């Protein structure tokens, strides 16, 4: 189990892409071809990065789609691990 909470990809997007370029949510959303509501939801950690959004981000910020999806996967896995003890799963290993 991971020992630390990885940042939500929206935090990274804001800190490393939007803020350094001085972009508002509205400007970035227009450039990405998505609604302001969609981008705001990602930036505020209410939504994750979909494969399509990962491709959009890779085009806009000259990154890889894989890097965005890896960040999302790491965050989602960390969250799932937090509820490991509450999961009722029978071990099936021989």
pLDDT means per 10 residues, the chain with 94 residues, are 84 98 98 98 98 98 98 96 93 87
Helix (H, G, I), strand (E, B) or coil at 8: coil
Cα separation, 92 vs 94, in Å, equals: 6
Ordered by start, the domain boundaries in the chain are 9-80
* Matching CATH number, 9-80, of 3.40.50.720, 3.30.1330.120, 1.10.260.40, 3.20.20.70: 1.10.260.40
Percentage helix, strand, coil for the chain under 3-state DSSP, each rounded to 5? 65, 0, 35
Q: What is the pTM of this model?
A: 0.90
43-47: long-range contacts, CB 8 A cutoff, minimum separation 24:
43/10, 43/11, 43/13, 43/14, 43/18, 44/10, 45/8, 45/10, 45/11, 47/10
């Amino acid at each position: 189990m991971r020992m630390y909470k990885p940042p939500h990809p929206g935090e990274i997007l804001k800190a490393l892409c939007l803020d350094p370029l001085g972009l508002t949510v509205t400007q970035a959303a227009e450039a990405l071809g998505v609604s302001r509501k969609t981008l705001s939801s990602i930036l505020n950690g209410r939504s994750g990065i979909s494969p399509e959004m990962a491709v959009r981000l890779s085009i806009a910020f000259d990154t890889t789609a894989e890097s965005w999806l890896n960040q999302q996967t790491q965050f989602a896995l960390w969250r799932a691990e937090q509820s490991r003890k509450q999961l009722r799963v029978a071990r099936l290993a021989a």
